[in-house]
Chain A
Amino acid sequence: MSGLEVEDLVVPRGAFRLGPTRLATAPGTVTALIGPNGAGKTTLLRAIAGFERPTQGTVRLDGKELGPLPPEERGIGWVPAGLGLLAHRRVEENVRYGLDLRGDPAAREKGRAWTERLGLSELARRYPRQLSSGERQRVAIARALAVEPSLLLLDEPTAALDADAREALVRTLRELLAGESVALLLVAHDAPTALALADRVHLLERGASRFDGTLSELLERPPNRFAARFLGFENVLPPEALSAPTAGAIERRLSALAGPGGVAVPARSLRVRAGGDGPEARLRARRGGPRTVLVELAGLSLLGEADPAQPLPSVGGTVHLELEEGEVRAITA
């Protein structure tokens, strides 16, 4: 089979242990690795790239077992979180570094083409220190892709970027990958990057795989509270928060919808109105967007969305809630 296949991979790192992990990516697809800090995302990428020694399991790329191969013989593009640009070489020299190592007679032309493709032509004579974070990120990606790997690993490519630079990078990656056969496996620390790029999501928590599937599957059945928060559900409630003796109609309804890990409620599912028949709550603050408000309900703080048709009372006043259950999701574990 072509693409990446990781089977029952176990990587110990001191007291931490990754795996056993199973993961597959097909050519031309994007898989986002997500998970809280310390989940093992970077360890998994490093193990695939050949920088960690697994004690168990296999890594195959395009059907070839990579286990005994050193990093330089794996043919995998690796862009670490720190990028690893060669500070003493210009942008154009960085981009063609891998081609030069291979003795490619067309290294200059190919390097120039990749420099142009990543919008770096005007920066080609600069050194990495003379570039912004986003520009450096593009140099690192151009350098990794220049040697035409069948798999590209990106470790938190958007972590050091502001919102504009992140969007620009995501756009660039989408354009680059369109119609290409390279598989991309990236650690995504933010939902916009994962949502904009990924075909599949692999969730790690404390070294164990918790979910592997499509984004829509993840949105439909968030496997844990981290995933629910990552996906942008404003209210992520554990089961115990819903079973207080003071629980009212809303909490009881949410409790009925909850899974073993609790319930995820988007703010837009909780309508906040000045009047009506719904259960009463106290308006505590106006937050975020113009319609997002924080309400208190028998000791439970929830983010809801104000009904634009009804002006709300001032903070501290009484409001009425209405739950729209369609987008409420049970957390499965």
Chain B
Amino acid sequence: MSTAARARAAAPGALAGVLSASLLGLFLLPVWALLGFATPAGIVHESSDPQFWAALDVTLQASAIAVAASLLLGVPLGYLLARKRFPGKAVIRSVVLLPVMIPHLVAGLALFLWIEPGGTVYRIAHWAGVPLLDSIWAVALVMVYVGASYTVLASEFAFRSVEEDALEAARSLGASRTDAFLDVTLPTAGRGILTGALLTWARGVSEIGAFLILAYAVYPGAGYTGPVTSPVSVYIYNLYGLNLHAAAAAASLLLLLALAAFLAVQLFERWGRLPWRRGEVGA
């Protein structure tokens, strides 16, 4: 092959490499700028602020509730979309995508109008001891609204990947439908469902638009007399208006914690005894 031909053959790969590097740079350089602006001393200082941890606590508690609710409600829907035939499936899938598509301030406003104080939903929730405005439940509700779609879609994709042959072979060997679900479907789809839950969690933690309307000044619930706080994203937004250095330090701290969580999940997967995914055919 001549030098010119080799250069022509390499050109598309080089172009793709440059474009990819540009995007990766766009992802990483602002993070670098944030960490540089925050400075290590600023991050250490922020980590001693109890208000940051109180806000983080609200976020973590609410996101745990949101992930649990998304799994409870979203996995069955993902299963139905993947494995059952029924009319209106395309419409239902569009409804699932709705929270992903609409601006989240709009979502917050819509949720607020749905649960407006004095309304039926508000009164029922209040009667059940679940105040739906300015409470941790409101934070969790927003997180479910903006994030559960990811659990549904990832579950649907995961359930689709379960081979019908494996289910049928298991049935022929004596597995009931429930056995086959537990022995074949869940182990195969589990990783995809976990990915969906992580995306739901990440989406919830990063939310702010709907919180500003529905859960601006959060307290855990009726009868609570302690300090009022906010989810950590709202806390950082408030700091941004008062002290840019403190906001950058708090944002960096959140970023480092999220990174640690991400690494923990990666390690869990490595340790998580999934060698059947690492095997090579014909080894």
Question: Which residues of A pack against B, CB within 8 Å?
Answer: 46, 49-51, 70-72, 74, 76-89, 97-98, 101-102, 126-132, 140, 143-144, 147
Taken together as a complex, chains A and B put the C-alpha atoms of A164 and B276 apart, in Å, by 27
Q: Are B168 and A127 in contact (CB under 8 A)?
A: no
Taken together as a complex, chains A and B put the C-alpha atoms of A84 and B185 apart, in Å, by 12
Question: Which residues of B pack against A, CB within 8 Å?
Answer: 163-176, 179, 183-184, 187-188, 274-277, 279-283
Q: Which residues of B contact A89 (CB under 8 A)?
A: 276
Say how far B196's CB is from chain A's closest CB, in angstroms: 19
Taken together as a complex, chains A and B put the C-alpha atoms of A78 and B163 apart, in Å, by 15
Partner of B169, one of A79, A102, A127: A79
Task: Using known A-B contacts A87-B188, A88-B187, A144-B173, determine if residue A71 contacts B276 with beta carbons closer than 8 Å.
Answer: no
Q: Are A129 and B276 in contact (CB under 8 A)?
A: yes
Q: Which residues of A contact B167 (CB under 8 A)?
A: 84
Q: Are A88 and B188 in contact (CB under 8 A)?
A: yes
Say how far B61's CB is from chain A's closest CB, in angstroms: 33
Taken together as a complex, chains A and B put the C-alpha atoms of A71 and B164 apart, in Å, by 14
Taken together as a complex, chains A and B put the C-alpha atoms of A266 and B277 apart, in Å, by 49
Q: Are B174 and A72 in contact (CB under 8 A)?
A: yes
Taken together as a complex, chains A and B put the C-alpha atoms of A147 and B173 apart, in Å, by 7
Q: Which residues of B contact A70 (CB under 8 A)?
A: 171
Task: Using known A-B contacts A83-B165, A127-B276, determine if residue A98 contacts B281 with beta carbons closer than 8 Å.
Answer: no
Q: Which residues of A contact B281 (CB under 8 A)?
A: 129-132
Q: Which residues of A contact B280 (CB under 8 A)?
A: 129-130
Task: Using known A-B contacts A85-B166, A86-B166, A88-B187, determine if residue A74 contacts B279 with beta carbons closer than 8 Å.
Answer: no
Q: Are A101 and B279 in contact (CB under 8 A)?
A: no
Q: Which residues of A contact B170 (CB under 8 A)?
A: 84, 86, 97
Name the residue on A nearest B167 (C-beta): A84
Taken together as a complex, chains A and B put the C-alpha atoms of A126 and B173 apart, in Å, by 21
Name the residue on A nearest B176 (C-beta): A72
Taken together as a complex, chains A and B put the C-alpha atoms of A138 and B259 apart, in Å, by 45
Q: Which residues of B contact A126 (CB under 8 A)?
A: 279, 283
Q: Are A49 and B168 in contact (CB under 8 A)?
A: yes
Partner of A128, one of B174, B179, B276: B276
What are 6 A-B residue pairs whose CB atoms fall within 8 Å in the complex?
A51-B168, A80-B169, A82-B163, A130-B280, A144-B173, A147-B173
Name the residue on B nearest A87 (C-beta): B276
Q: Are A86 and B183 in contact (CB under 8 A)?
A: yes
Apart from A49-B168, A76-B172, A82-B164, 11 more pairs, CB < 8 Å: A72-B172, A74-B172, A80-B165, A82-B166, A84-B163, A89-B276, A130-B281, A131-B281, A131-B282, A132-B282, A147-B173
Taken together as a complex, chains A and B put the C-alpha atoms of A58 and B165 apart, in Å, by 24
Taken together as a complex, chains A and B put the C-alpha atoms of A214 and B86 apart, in Å, by 45
Quick one: which of A49, A127, A132 has the most chain B CB within 10 A? A127
Q: Are B168 and A71 in contact (CB under 8 A)?
A: yes
Q: Which residues of A contact B275 (CB under 8 A)?
A: 127
Task: Using known A-B contacts A88-B187, A126-B279, A132-B282, determine if residue A98 contacts B173 with beta carbons closer than 8 Å.
Answer: yes
Taken together as a complex, chains A and B put the C-alpha atoms of A50 and B177 apart, in Å, by 13
Q: Are B174 and A102 in contact (CB under 8 A)?
A: yes
Quick one: which of A74, A78, A131 has the most chain B CB within 10 A? A78
Partner of A129, one of B175, B187, B279: B279
Say how far B164's CB is from chain A's closest CB, in angstroms: 8
Taken together as a complex, chains A and B put the C-alpha atoms of A187 and B171 apart, in Å, by 20
Q: Which residues of B contact A71 (CB under 8 A)?
A: 168, 171-172
Q: Which residues of A contact B171 (CB under 8 A)?
A: 50-51, 70-72
Q: Are B169 and A140 in contact (CB under 8 A)?
A: yes
By Cβ-Cβ distance, the 7 closest A-B pairs, closest first, are A84-B169, A98-B173, A84-B165, A82-B165, A78-B172, A130-B279, A129-B279
Q: Which residues of B contact A77 (CB under 8 A)?
A: 172
Taken together as a complex, chains A and B put the C-alpha atoms of A305 and B52 apart, in Å, by 90
Say how far A246's CB is from chain B's closest CB, in angstroms: 52
Q: Are B175 and A101 in contact (CB under 8 A)?
A: yes
Say how far B124's CB is from chain A's closest CB, in angstroms: 42
Name the residue on B nearest A146 (C-beta): B173
Task: Using known A-B contacts A88-B187, A131-B281, determine if residue A72 contacts B276 with beta carbons closer than 8 Å.
Answer: no
Q: Which residues of B contact A98 (CB under 8 A)?
A: 173-174
Say how far B81's CB is from chain A's closest CB, in angstroms: 22
Say how far B223's CB is from chain A's closest CB, in angstroms: 48
Name the residue on B nearest A81 (C-beta): B165
